[in-house]
């Protein structure tokens, strides 16, 4: 059984740290504010794409264009996992920000 991890590979979080740092350096050279904002924006976009794909698979099943229930369930699970990943990352960032605010200078 082959597990498809394309939804994780689509996000920049799966890239090696060196590749992310290089892309940040490139964006700084171009004068574009990047860094974390770009990473989270890419994560959110990939979450929206998997959600749209899940909705499309469900619609195809409902109107009878597709008979494969498993394909629809896999698309739904991908969407769910991407949303949970997005939510977890957001919560971790908020926790880190809160810890930074608590530090005394």
Q: What does the pLDDT look like over 44-103, one tens digit per residue? A: 899 999 999 999 999 998 998 888 889 889 999 999 999 999 999 989 989 999 999 998
Q: What is the pLDDT of residue 27?
A: 54
Q: Does the residue 16 lie in any domain?
A: yes
Q: Decide which of 25 and 3 is more confident.
A: 25
Q: Does the residue 56 lie in any domain?
A: yes
Q: What is the pLDDT of residue 2?
A: 47
To the nearest 10°, report the CA torsion of 83, 3, 15, 100: 40
Cβ distance 76 to 55 under 8 Å? Answer: no
Q: What is the pLDDT of residue 28?
A: 57
Q: Hey, which bits of 1-105 come out as E strands? A: none
Domain that holds residue 42: 6-102
- Tally of structural domains, the chain: 1
Q: Does the residue 1 lie in any domain?
A: no
Q: Decide which of 11 and 59 is more confident.
A: 59
Read off the pLDDT band of 1 (50, 70, 90).
Answer: very low
Residue (of 61, 90, 86) closest to 75 by Cα position: 61
To the nearest 10°, report the CA torsion of 71, 77, 80, 81: -130
**Is pLDDT of 104 > 50?**
yes
| Model confidence, pTM | 0.60
Q: CA-to-CA distance for 77 and 46, rounded, in angstroms? A: 14
């Amino acid at each position: 059984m082959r597990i498809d991890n394309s939804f994780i590979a689509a996000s920049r979080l799966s890239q090696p740290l060196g590749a992310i740092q290089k892309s940040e350096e490139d964006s700084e050279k171009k004068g574009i504010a990047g860094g974390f904002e770009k990473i989270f924006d890419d994560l959110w976009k990939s979450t929206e794409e998997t959600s749209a794909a899940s909705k499309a698979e469900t619609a195809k099943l409902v109107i009878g264009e597709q008979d494969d229930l498993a394909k629809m369930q896999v698309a739904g699970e991908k969407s769910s996992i991407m949303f949970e990943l997005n939510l977890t990352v957001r919560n971790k960032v908020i926790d880190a920000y809160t810890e930074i605010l608590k530090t005394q200078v």
